[in-house]
Amino acid sequence: MKAILAIAGVEVRRFLRDRSNIFFAFIFPLLLILLLGTQFGSSSAETRVALAGGSGTALLTALTEQLEADGMQVESGTAQVVREQLGRGRADVGLIISNEAATAFNDERRTELEILTASQASAQAALQQVRGSLQAISMRHSQLAALEQGGLAAEAAKSALTHAREAVQAPRVDILDTDNTAKEFRGLGVFDLGAVQQLLLFIFLSSLTGSATLIQARRFGVISRTLAAPVSSRQTIAGQAVGRFGIASVQGAYILVGTALLFGVDWGNLWLTALVLVAFSAVAAAGAMIIGSLLDHDGAATGIGIGSGLVLAGLGGCMVPPEFFAEPLQSFSWLTPHRWAYDALAAIQRRDAAFTDILPSLGVLAVMAAFLLLCGAWLLRRSLQRAL
């Protein structure tokens, strides 16, 4: 065991000592998560409505009060800002209040508002909620007008309406969002989704590019030399495999802790998250063993590592959330370890999944890791025999 840990320890140390890895493994992932979160992240479980125009008017006040009373999150800004918010998915519905509309509302005339919706799937349900609120304002306005026309003073009419509302159980319309894709992301923090995706992407990427250290160890003749020491070939291969696993784990743990501390990412049950990371890191480590044993040039390993790491990450939902994938990409994505790990982490993070819920994902990842590890060990043994 001492020999295995010595070999593994040196591999991790060499990975950390490479200056380019300091940027790509430690600075770049957090920068990317920060960028994605601030530009595309959404932190609300509520419908988000952005209002523009009508500053200081009764219409703006009425809209704001009603929308908030109906449980929506309201923000104000210019028309340009509202359009940007909608474009980035940071608002579901935008309302543009023109001067004419504000005046018409005051004059108790027909009032027209410009309504804009975002492109995300949740926007349609949000639009229905906003329509409900607008109808409520319209209804209240009509009722007040009717009472005032009936001879009541404005204050008395308001009071009567309030009494009536308390006395009568009014029919209620609840907007039920049946869009599972939209519901899937409700309640996530600004950085939560991006953190999961980049975590998986970088664990694999760092592991595959880190296979360069294995190639160097073979090329330098260090692995051959270890075989002349009182170390069996099994221990040597196991040491290399544990070393790859160590590189993946260091990368994973860093992003996990870093995003939790810096960006407040909620990872859910940490033990279960760690379990998924262990299984996923094992797959990444085994993949690195294969590349490190097959190739003879560390530059080629870096190129292939980056290329295959990005392709697998893309297919596995680490660039665009897999919930948005259409068939057959949706089915195809399950061939990647990323998709299984993403699914398990999403279940832990969003639905408080228990161990049994993520067991299928863990099982598939374990089988993938075992298969790739066997291939990697066989290839490494073969390359050593050839070298000697």
Partner 1 sequence: MSADRLVKRFGELTAVDDVSFAIRPGETYGLLGPNGAGKTTIINMVAGLIPADSGSVDVAGIRMDPAGIAVKRHLGLVPQELAIYPDLTARENLNFFGRLQGLGRKELSSRVNAVLELLGLAERAGEQTKKYSGGMKRRLNIGIGLLHRPGLLILDEPTVGVDPQSRNSILEAVGDLSAGGTAVLYTTHYMEEAERLCDRIAILDQGQIQAEGTRDELITLTGGVDRISLVGAGRSAAAAEALRSLDGVHRVTDSGGTELILTVTDGAALLAGIVSTAVRSGMTLASVSVTRPDLESVFLHLTGKALRD
Least distance CB 213 / partner 1 (angstroms) = 9
From the list 5-13, 263-271, 321-329, 372-380, the region that binds partner 1 by CB under 8 A is 5-13
Q: Which of 130, 203, 217, 279 binds partner 1 (CB under 8 A)?
A: 217
Report the amino acid identity of residue 387: A
Instruction: Determine the 3-state secondary structure of 173 from DSSP.
Output: coil
Residue 100 exposed, middle or buried by CB count within 10 Å (0-12, 13-18, 19+): exposed
Q: Which of 31, 146, 154, 222 binds partner 1 (CB under 8 A)?
A: 222
Q: Which of 171, 249, 260 is nearest to 210 (CA)?
A: 249
Q: Which of 155, 150, 96, 91 is nearest to 123 (CA)?
A: 91
Say how far apart CA 226 and CA 310 lie, in whole Å. 34
Rank residues 124 and 224 by Cβ distance to partner 1 and give the closer one: 224
Q: Which of 103, 117, 124, 224 binds partner 1 (CB under 8 A)?
A: 224
Alpha helices by DSSP H, listed for 295-354, are 298-315, 329-332, 337-351
Least distance CB 2 / partner 1 (angstroms) = 6
Rank residues 247 and 368 by Cβ distance to partner 1 and give the closer one: 247
**Residue 233 near partner 1 by CB under 8 A:** yes
From the list 11-19, 72-80, 202-210, 263-271, the region that binds partner 1 by CB under 8 A is 11-19
Least distance CB 3 / partner 1 (angstroms) = 5
**Residue 218 near partner 1 by CB under 8 A:** no
**Residue 13 near partner 1 by CB under 8 A:** yes
**Residue 17 near partner 1 by CB under 8 A:** yes
Structure tokens at 172: 């209620």
**CA neighbours within 13 Å on the CB side: how many for 354?**
1
From the list 113-121, 200-208, 220-228, 305-313, the region that binds partner 1 by CB under 8 A is 220-228
Least distance CB 24 / partner 1 (angstroms) = 16
Q: Which of the 8 DSSP states describes residue 161? A: H
For residues 60 and 51, is the Cβ–Cβ distance under 8 A?
A: yes
**Residue 220 near partner 1 by CB under 8 A:** yes
Least distance CB 11 / partner 1 (angstroms) = 10
Least distance CB 244 / partner 1 (angstroms) = 16
DSSP string of 273-303?
HHHHHHHHHHHHHHHHHHHHHH-S-HHHHHH
Q: Which of 56, 151, 230, 328 binds partner 1 (CB under 8 A)?
A: 230
Instruction: Determine the 3-state secondary structure of 94 from DSSP.
Output: strand
Q: Give the contacts of 333 (CB within 8 A, at least 6 positions apart).
A: 315, 316, 317, 322, 325, 339
Q: Which of 229, 257, 320, 354 binds partner 1 (CB under 8 A)?
A: 229
From the list 4-12, 89-97, 196-204, 321-329, the region that binds partner 1 by CB under 8 A is 4-12
Least distance CB 234 / partner 1 (angstroms) = 9
For residues 210 and 247, is the Cβ–Cβ distance under 8 A?
A: yes
**Residue ranges in contact with partner 1 by CB under 8 A:** 2-3, 6-7, 10, 13-14, 17-18, 216-217, 220-222, 224-233, 388
